Amino acid sequence: MKSMKIATLVALLASPVLAEGDAAAGESKFERNCTTCHAVVDASGNAIIGRANVKTGPNLFGVVGRTAGTEAGFDKYGDSLVAAGAAGGVFDEAALIAYMQDPTAWLRSTLSDDRARSKMSFKLRNEQDAADIAAYLASLN
């Protein structure tokens, strides 16, 4: 019995601490942090949240599962983000969480290139907020 308890404890300690995303909480966090630069517009042109004509960053509708730097309507991507997509970088939820917290760091690790730079001049410091926003964006797919 005693050894089983220790084994369970070891398993718990060894499992990575992953923030569990809450899509409902993520909606208002997305609105507050992201809609100044990003629209979320569906295929029919309807804004899901925020305004449709925001174009500082790419449309984020369907971004979860999308190859980085490939939103057809956006022509201001930086070279590093396009290169990350060409290298196979896809925004699954884990990648999104990392990207939101530090876009340039995500590009540098994805490309193994310390000169890579993001054109997104925003960092979301809080990992739980990032996980909630990623869950919200995934719920729109």
If DSSP codes are grouped into helix, strand and coil, which group holds residue 68?
A: coil
Q: Which residues bind ligand HEC (CB under 6 A)?
A: 33-34, 36-38, 56-58, 60, 63, 68-69, 71, 77-78, 81, 91, 96, 99-100, 118-122, 124, 133
Residue (9 or 121) nearer to ligand HEC, CB: 121
Residue (5 or 76) nearer to ligand HEC, CB: 76
If DSSP codes are grouped into helix, strand and coil, which group holds residue 13?
A: helix
Residue (8 or 36) nearer to ligand HEC, CB: 36
> What is the DSSP code string of 83-132?
HHHHTT-B--HHHHHHHHH-HHHHHHHHHT-TT---S-------HHHHHH
Least Å distance, CB 46 to ligand HEC, is 19
Residue (7 or 92) nearer to ligand HEC, CB: 92
Token look-up 């300690």 returns: 13
Least Å distance, CB 133 to ligand HEC, is 5
Least Å distance, CB 62 to ligand HEC, is 10
Identify whether the C-beta of residue 88 lies closer than 8 Å to the C-beta of residue 68: no
If DSSP codes are grouped into helix, strand and coil, which group holds residue 47?
A: strand
Least Å distance, CB 75 to ligand HEC, is 10
Query: For residues 34 and 18, what is the distance between their CA atoms, to the nearest angstrom?
Result: 22
